[in-house]
Amino acid sequence: MSKTKHRAKPRVLSCACDAGPRLIFACSGSSEVGELADRAARVLSKSGVGSMFCLAGVSGREAGVMESTRRAEKILVIDGCPADCAANALRRDGITGFEHLRLCDAGRPDHEIESCDVDLQRIVEKGRALLEGWATEQAAPIEPEASNEIPAR
């Protein structure tokens, strides 16, 4: 009986560079709308409508991320405020054929918006519509509701 040690195969870390054809990039900035953009992208990704992708990889011009982004069938960019950091990161490298969802277009200042489930659900619905082709307008606004209150149950 030999006493050879079994070595575990080295684990290969993946950044999802081979992700599906519909990619989602989100601002994850420090404002409330940055947080909301990030949360919406994660919900959309978990629902299977697209794959949240690495905006830092685009900004860092990581080869695999850039190649996958250029091959994407459809891209949704979710920005929180008028700075459009996520969209501008893609535009800087000539990637312009994307749907753009800007959360501040709802008429709320980025420092006052509440990260509540009502806003999140509306954003997710709009993002899903853009990715699935229900809506085709660029820089699509999130229509403000009459009240920002969460309905009583």
* Segment 61-106, tens digit of pLDDT: 999 999 999 999 999 999 988 899 999 999 999 999 999 998 887 6
Residue predicted with more confidence, 116 or 64: 64
- What architecture does CATH give domain 22-131? 3-Layer(aba) Sandwich (3.40)
Domain ranges of the chain: 22-131
Q: What gap in Å lies between CA 70 and CA 89, rounded to an integer?
A: 13
Share of the chain above pLDDT 90, in %: 46
3-state helix, strand, coil split of the chain in percent (to 5) is 35, 10, 50
The pLDDT assigned to 51 comes to: 94
Task: Please give the structure tokens belonging to residue 44.
Answer: 């959309």
- Please return the burial class of 148, using the count of CB atoms within 10 Å of its CB with bins 0-12, 13-18 and 19+: middle
The pLDDT assigned to 138 comes to: 44
In the numeric block, the tokens 């709009």 are attached to 126
pTM of the model: 0.70
